Chain A
Amino acid sequence: MSVQIAGVKRGPAARLRALGGGWLQNLCLLLLVLFVLVSVFAPWLAPQDPTYGDLGSGLVGPSAEHWLGTDQGGHDTFSALIEGSRTSLVGPLAVVLFSTVTGIAVGLFTAWRGGWADTVIGRLLDVVFAFPALLVAILAVAIFGKGMTAPVIAMSLAYMPYTARLVRGLALQEQARPYIAAYRVQGHSGVFVAVRRLLPNIGPTVLAQSTVNFGYALLDLAALSFLGLGVQPPTPDWGAMINQSQAAVLQGQPLSSTVPAVAVVLVVVAFNVVGENFGDRLAGRDS
């Protein structure tokens, strides 16, 4: 049974349909596609240069020239929003890619080897677990200075145990199924079976988890920029935009910070909803 399922190849259209669901799910999926498109084509989409501050027109309201107004430095909020989507995509993407790949490697290795290697690595993962991602990112900034590179690497490490544990659990479950034994009996090497046969079966569940992780990584990195420790001005970034507009909020001009705040929440909601629905559906399929 499982062997057959593993062998089924689905076309991209069928895959997309399988992702679709209720209106909320579809709306969120649409939002994610929009988010990715905007961040890829940001330089062509932004009507103005968000790094150019026209001090003469600071904190103006929405107009034909500035669709979403300007911040106190006279930067166009709409353009900053569009250009800022890039850092919001690239940072979390790097974190999720790195943590997923290493997490899969560690998870598969521990599940496959078992014994003392599993125990020792499990204890080490417990230790890493004790470090919240944002805290590790802050520590990385304290050591290597402000910017995104060091925090992204540090956060990748902090997120890794989540994927590793998930993969280990899934792999142990999957290993107990007869098709794995069947492959082993046929003389395939352990690495081959783990990577080519087992991984495709647990892949979707891991992908669902990584989608949710993307949202959380985005939140952590935006928080870092909000604290002034991540992306540095004048590079546009949603977290940094909120940070710089705090004075404007106290002056009763919250628009320039509300816009990126709404963007952060919407994108993270979309990632959570899509990832969780996807995961729920997979869990339903298995049971």
Chain B
Amino acid sequence: MALLEYEALNIALPGMARPVLDGIDLTVAAGEIVALVGESGSGKSVTARAALGLFPAGADIEGHVRVDGTDLVSADATGLRTIRTAKASMIFQDPRAGINPVRRIGDFLTESLRVSHGWAKDRANARAAELLAAVGLPDPARHLRQYPHQLSGGMLQRVMIAGALTTEPRLLLCDEPTTALDVSTQAEIMAILGRLQRERDLGLLLITHDIELAAAACDRVYVMYAGRIVETAPTAELFAAPRHPYTAGLLGSSPPLSAPNGPPARLTPIPGAPMGLLDSAPGCSFAARCRFARPGVCDQSPPPLERHGTALVACHRADDLTSVPDALAATATAPNSPHMEDG
């Protein structure tokens, strides 16, 4: 049984043209690192929050999200609390906003242990200090007494990580854990997360817009667009041969992390803008921005997620487009026309 399992999860908000999440299927096994990649507004944060039963207010929810076998869509208050207090934790994007500014760091770290697990103050403090040391903060005893504004962003994100680990969860959800930090700190935070994941054999779902970060850290990658999973594959395969034009577009528009010596690679932006919640398309959501979209095919019905080798791809043209990057390169040099390869 997977540690975290999404099964056809739909989340719809009233008044919106399309669902926020549309049939999400995703699994994270114990000890596995999985990335969920997508642009802002694609629904990846909503997906992550659903794993803790944090659904948008007023939303219609169908399908299932199971953590350790408990379905959070149908769970009662006790079930929700068990998941949140013992099984899964979340690391949020901006530690400056995510830690109460008027309470001490120690308070943030021990709250869950003391309130939900009934630990005595000294015991909880000792655990908190231990964890602060584990995330590499120099002076745990002092930090416990400090307020958030006295620490840097990188230090605070370490505090956030320590806070997520106090209750020894088996599943860690990381929602853009490095986006709010400066570049040099990002690598440190990722290194700490990687080490803790290995040491504690955590299942980890990394939400990020940075596909290169996902490549560096994760076993498997899910790519999300406009509320749907469009492609998933083991990391190596996905990077070697992306099957979905959107995945290829993401790869082509971000600079490679480990660029070989030589002239820097040319970056090709994906034309157009991500689809908002007030837009919908009858067919493939990405068709409007896709160079390979074929009228009469791609705009008819949403493509199902189908197996192609080791990957699952949701694209009407997955069969005939064997190498998307090469096709992309070919169209990029040609005069700018979205339906070029059809002619």
Task: Tell whether any CB of A sits under 8 Å from a CB of B in the complex.
Answer: no
